[in-house]
A = this chain, B = another copy of it.
Amino acid sequence: MRVEYINSFITSLDHTFQTMLDCSVARGRPAVKNSSTPKFEISGVIGLSGKAVGTVVLSFSRDVALQAASHMLMCEAKEINAEVIDAVGELTNMVAGGAKAQLAEYELMVSLPNVITGRNHAVRFPSDVTPLCVPFESKWGPLSLEVGFSPIREPAHA
């Protein structure tokens, strides 16, 4: 999969935030993830499989997660509870789903969205995968999109 795949995810995130949250996002420069890539407190993670195999990670600062969930729930979320987890998972699902539609030739299927919490968590990829990380700024604070696809991958052992 060529690195242009990242554009489908960027477009999808932009569209999802605009339509679901009425929130514009300003995109920073896509870069290969390294140790200075900022970490956020809450991350939605969803797997993709088909003719390519990959993962989408959407990481939010606490404020972005709470404000986005408040908008979706139409009531103020004050802590990272099950409703906020669901909102972050659903946003991740929608970003992955929108990109999947643009990458039809890979016949991707999305897995279940999981949400990782914990102030110092890191979501790591296999070392043969080079994920691209895209920072965004929103009116609620920073977030990031990270997408990695495996170039070649053996079928899992039976």
Tell me the A residues contacting B by CB distance below 8 Å: 45-50, 53-55, 57, 82-83, 85-86, 89-90, 93-94, 96-98, 100-101, 109-127, 129, 148-150, 153, 155-158
Whether B110 lies near A49 (C-beta < 8 A) is: yes
Partner of A129, one of B94, B112, B127, B129: B112
Main secondary structure, interface of A, reads: mixed
Q: How far is the CB of A99 from chain B (nearest CB, A)?
A: 9
Most chain B CB neighbours (cut-off 10 Å) among A90, A113, A123, A127: A113
The smallest beta-carbon distance between A75 and chain B, in angstroms, is 16
Chain B residues contacting A54 (CB-CB under 8 Å) are 111-112
